Amino acid sequence: QGCTQKYIVKNYFYYYLFKFSAALGEEIFYITFLPFTYWNIDHSVSRRMIIVWSIVMYIGQVSKDILKWPRPLSPPVVKLEMRTNAEYGMPSTHAMAATAISFSFFIATMNLYKYPFELGLAAAFVFSTLVCLSRLYTGMHTVLDVIGGALISAVLLVLLYPVWDTIDHLLLTSPFCPLFSIVVPLVLCYNYPKLDYYSPTRGDTTTILGAAAGASVGFWLNNQYAASAYKSVQPGFPLITSTMVFVLARFFVGILVVLLTRWLMKSVVLGVLGYRYKFPIRDLEARRRLEVEVPYKFVTYSSVGFTATVIVPRLHELLGLL
């Protein structure tokens, strides 16, 4: 499973298009796009996307390890990825995440900004379709896995939409929000379905729930203390040069702080856990143990979520970027 298959690329356009599209369903996209939305688009849009994303991804990851449907056999398919090969296939969480994020973004913004309904719908459809097709191209999922993931995500969106405002209100005003946001995800992570072998699904789920937990605490804290809000960027073509500079400055300052937070917290938490359980930090097998993986990833990524929603905005305010 750790060996990369040999293959010859005959169409570089499709190869790079779908490799890029596959990355839109991975951590590098989540850790950049979701904070970008909070810093530059609208707080309410970001909150709704994170709520939907975390719920959809948790259900998708758990479903994989309950159903235990295998990934496509190789041969005949050629697998262009190896990390997720240890996971089961049904449903495709890439398809679920792409559908959830693109359509929740579309639904949350269509009444906030003036743009053609058809254009927004087409953009959401193209985004999710590209990610879905990338899972077929890279050999990681069957057609049924992808269709199943997209349909499950669509159903969850339909079910969640009527209670969006209620959840958002509780997220901002309930005195129990911080406790609920931390305890419930931790319980879910520690009681994740057990497999006969190691799979990255539990770690990935902990990462997602941790980031959502930290962000939720940050949302609540900002609302309680009436933190200054960002001046949202209105979409338009062409964007004014000064506005673009403002947007890019917010993003690069913010993402630098977020990445530094992730590196620092990962090092500190692994160091503490390594001392507690007597293992070297570079020991990958030890880091996969339940008592290590869950606290290490949850603390690291909840710190990332909190930093993106509380620390970075304060830094932006100090730098005059708010």
pLDDT of residue 159: 92
Mean pLDDT of 41-47: 87
Same domain, 142 and 183: no
Same domain, 53 and 182: no
Mean pLDDT of 22-36: 85
Answer for the pair 310, 218: CB distance below 8 angstroms, yes or no. Answer: yes
pLDDT of residue 266: 92
Residue 298 CB neighbour total at 10 angstroms: 23
Query: Which residue, 12, 13, 11, 20, is CA-closest to 130?
Result: 20
Of the listed ranges 4-13, 149-158, 261-270, 300-309, the least confidently predicted one is 4-13
Q: Which of 136, 161, 186 is the last residue of a domain?
A: 161
* Residue 16 binned pLDDT confidence (cut-offs 50, 70, 90): confident
Structural domain total, the chain = 2
Same domain, 95 and 47: yes
Answer for the pair 63, 92: CB distance below 8 angstroms, yes or no. Answer: no
Same domain, 147 and 17: yes
Same domain, 120 and 199: no
Same domain, 175 and 302: yes
Same domain, 151 and 190: no
Same domain, 195 and 291: yes
Write down the mean pLDDT value for the chain: 85
Same domain, 175 and 152: no
Same domain, 191 and 287: yes
pLDDT of residue 5: 62
Q: Which helix (H) or strand (E) holds 31?
A: helix 27-40
Q: Which of 161, 182, 212 is the last residue of a domain?
A: 161
The DSSP secondary-structure symbol of 76 reads: T
Q: Which of 143, 161, 179 is the last residue of a domain?
A: 161
Q: How many Å apart are CA 34 and CA 47, to the nearest integer?
A: 9
Same domain, 180 and 74: no
Could you give the C-alpha distances from 167 to 59, 179, 234, in angstroms and in order?
18, 15, 26
Q: What are the pLDDT digits (tens) for 46-80?
A: 899 999 999 999 999 999 888 888 888 777 777 77
Domain span at residue 25? 1-161
pLDDT of residue 227: 65
* Residue 153 binned pLDDT confidence (cut-offs 50, 70, 90): very high
pLDDT of residue 3: 47
* Residue 13 binned pLDDT confidence (cut-offs 50, 70, 90): confident
* Residue 83 binned pLDDT confidence (cut-offs 50, 70, 90): low
Same domain, 112 and 180: no
Active site residues: 94, 141
pLDDT of residue 277: 85
